Amino acid sequence: MPLSPARLRTMLDTLTRQYGVPGAAIAVWAGGELKEAAAGVCNIETKVPATAETLFQIGSITKLYTAALAMQLVEEGKLGLDQPVRKVLPDFAVADEEASGKITLRHLLNHTSGIDGDFFKDAGRGEDRIAKYVRLLKNVEQIHPLGAMFSYCNAGFVVAGRMIEVAAGKGWDKAIRERIAKPLGTPAFSTLPEQAMRHQTAIGHVGQPGALMVTPIAYLAQSNAPAGSMPMAKARDVIAFARMMMNEGVAANGTPVLSAESVHRMHLRTITCPPQMNIDAIGLGSFLWDWNGDGHYEVFGHDGSTIGQAAWLRYHTESETAVALLTNGGNGKGLADEVLAAIFSDAAGIAPPEPPAPAGQGMPEVSRLTGTYAKASGTVEVSVKEGMLIALHKPAPDFAALQGTYAVELRPVSETLFTGTMPGYTRPATYHFLEEDAQGRALYLHTGARAHRRVV
DSSP state of 76: T
- What is d(CA 366, CA 328) in angstroms, rounded to the nearest whole number? 38
Residue 192 has a CB neighbour count (10 Å cut-off) of 16
Q: What is the bridge-based pairing of β-strands 205-206 and 213-214?
A: antiparallel
Q: Which amino acid is at 263?
A: V
Residue 319 has a CB neighbour count (10 Å cut-off) of 16
Active site residue 60: yes
Q: Which of 312, 307, 314 is nearest to 335 (CA)?
A: 312
- What is d(CA 393, CA 448) in angstroms, rounded to the nearest whole number? 11
- What is d(CA 414, CA 434) in angstroms, rounded to the nearest whole number? 12
DSSP state of 180: I
Provide the CB-side half-sphere exposure for 197 (13 A, CA): 4
Q: Which of 437, 170, 444, 206 is nearest to 309 (CA)?
A: 206
Contact 370, 352 (CB under 8 A): no
Backbone angles phi, psi at 409, to 5 degrees: -80, 130
- What is d(CA 195, CA 206) in angstroms, rounded to the nearest whole number? 24
Q: Which of 276, 301, 365, 277 is nearest to 58 (CA)?
A: 301
Secondary structure element (H or E) that encloses residue 394, with its range: strand 388-395
Strand partners of residue 410: 389
Name the catalytic one among 60, 113, 190, 262: 60
- What is d(CA 179, CA 398) in angstroms, rounded to the nearest whole number? 34
- What is d(CA 34, CA 252) in angstroms, rounded to the nearest whole number? 12
Contact 314, 64 (CB under 8 A): no
Q: Hey, which residues are catalytic here?
A: 60
